[in-house]
Amino acid sequence: MTFVESYGPWAIVAGASEGVGAAFAAAVAKEGVNVALLARRQGVLDEVAADISAEHGVETRAVAVDLAAPSAMGTVADATKDLEVGLLMYCAGADPNYHPFLANPVEVATAMVRRNCTALVEICHHYAGPMAANGRGGIIVLSSGAAFVGAPNMVIYGGTKAFDVVFTEALWSELHSQGVDVLSLVLGETDTPALRRLRAERGFVDDAHVPLPGVATVDEVVGDALAQLPHGPSFMVGEHLRSGLQMLGGMPRNDAVDLMMKAASATMDHDAPA
C-alpha cells in the first residue's frame, strides 16, 4: 500500500507549531496526507498550516488547544469529528523550564502530567479504535532518553516520558496484530527551537538561532520515525543516544543516577555542584 493508503487520508500532529512536530506535519503532507495541527498558539499554527498547504497541496486544519487542560480531548474531538484519521503523531510535552521539582507550584507538575500522560491516553483511545476497526493506521509517540534514568531538573519530565515509553510499547503489543503500527520514538538532545532557547537562556550558547552542534537534527528524527513506524514498538534516534543508554543499562541504577547528575551539571547548569 502507498503511504496515504496506510496512514491517510488525515493525520493529527500534536505539538505542531515548531520543531519536530512542524517537521512531522510537513513530511506526511509531502506524502499526500492531509494534516490537522494541534498546539496552543493559533496564529503560529495558522502560519504553519498555510505554508504546508501551499507547498504540498493538501488540506490542513489548525486547532488551538492546551493539551494540559481538562477540556483538551473534547476540543480536539469536536474539531476533527468529520475527519478520517489514519495517523496520530504525539510530539507535545517538552519541558521548556528545566527547573527543580520544588522550584514551581505543584500545578506546574500536574499540568505536565496531564499533557504528557492523561491527554496522550485520551487521544490514543479516541483515534486508535477507528484505526483498529479499519485494520490500518499508525501512532507515533515521542519520548526521551530522560525516561530511563532519574536526573535533576527533570523529575516530572523524566517520569512522564517513562510512562510514555511503556504505554506506547504496550499499545503496540495490542494493536500491531490488528494492522495498526505503533512506535515509541525515543529522542536524545535534538536541535529544536525550544532547546536552542533553553541553552541560550542558560548561557551555553550566545545565539538561540544558530544550530546546535553534536545533537540530532529534526530531519534525522522525522526520517527515522517514518522509516521505523512499521517496525515498532520502539526506536532510539541517534547512535550517541543508543550507545549511552546501553552503557547506562549495564550499570547499577544508583551509579547511573549519579552519572546523570554529573552529566546534567556539565551540559545544562553552570551553578550545579560537580
Catalytic (active-site) positions: 157
Please give the angle made by the CA atoms of 43, 46 and 50, to the nearest 5 degrees. Answer: 145
Q: Order of strands, edge to edge, in the sheet holding 10-14?
A: 60-64, 34-39, 10-14, 85-90, 138-144, 181-187, 234-236
Beta bridge partners, 111, equal none
Q: What's the CA dihedral at 136, 174, 67, 187 to 10 degrees?
A: -90
Q: Do residues 234 and 184 lie in contact, with contact meaning Cβ atoms separated by under 8 Å?
A: yes
| Beta strands, E only, 2-135 | 10-14, 34-39, 60-64, 85-90
Residues 13, 39: Cα–Cα separation, whole Å = 9
> Any idea how long the chain is?
274
Residues 11, 140: Cα–Cα separation, whole Å = 11
Residues 250, 213: Cα–Cα separation, whole Å = 28
Residues 164, 90: Cα–Cα separation, whole Å = 10
